[in-house]
Amino acid sequence: MITRINHIGIAVNSIEEAVKLYTEVLGLKLQDIEVVEEQKVRTAIIPVGESKIELIESTDPEGMTARYIEKRGEGMHHLALEVSNIQEALETLEKKGIQLIDKVPRTGAEDTRIAFLHPKGTKVLIELVEPVE
């Protein structure tokens, strides 16, 4: 079901400021910055080996990411696990008693299909990611 860690999501106030740490200080390369309208965020993708860091900036002061930062501050937001079949993974996890935020996948950054698991049952916000081929 799970094939690898796809990315680690980090909530930030400013992608431009946050990218500097990863590129200028840590020497990583910025792959892309993208707006994901459905989620009201801008994302910056920074590859690290076979995984990525995804910086997330809210495009709406009332959006979920903005509320997250207001409540908890900038920092790790979620762990994204890659799956080969997201609908099957959601059905399996729900049968095992995991509370889902999304019962139906939605569109994520990089044209992926995504769904979130509720942190009440997982202790951390987990995003399932199915790459579109």
Q: Does 122 score more than 80 pLDDT?
A: yes
Helix (H, G, I), strand (E, B) or coil at 71: helix
Q: Which amino acid, one-letter code, is at 104?
A: V
**Average model confidence (pLDDT) for the chain?**
96
CATH code of 2-130, in short, is: 3.10.180.10
Residue 132 confidence (pLDDT): 85
Q: Where are the domains of the chain?
A: 2-130
Q: Does 133 score more than 80 pLDDT?
A: no
Q: Does 115 score more than 90 pLDDT?
A: yes
Q: Which amino acid, one-letter code, is at 57?
A: E
Q: Does 18 score more than 80 pLDDT?
A: yes
Of 10, 112, 108, which is closest to residue 53 (Cα–Cα)? 10
Residue 50 confidence (pLDDT): 95
| Higher-confidence position of 59 and 1 | 59
Q: Does 62 score more than 80 pLDDT?
A: yes
Report pLDDT digits (tens) over 1-11. Answer: 899 999 999 99
Q: Does 73 score more than 80 pLDDT?
A: yes
**What average pLDDT does the segment 9-15 reach?**
98
Question: ∠ CA(16), CA(130), CA(35), 5° rounding?
Answer: 25
The reported pTM is 0.93
Residue 90 confidence (pLDDT): 98
**CB distance 18 to 25 below 8 Å:** no
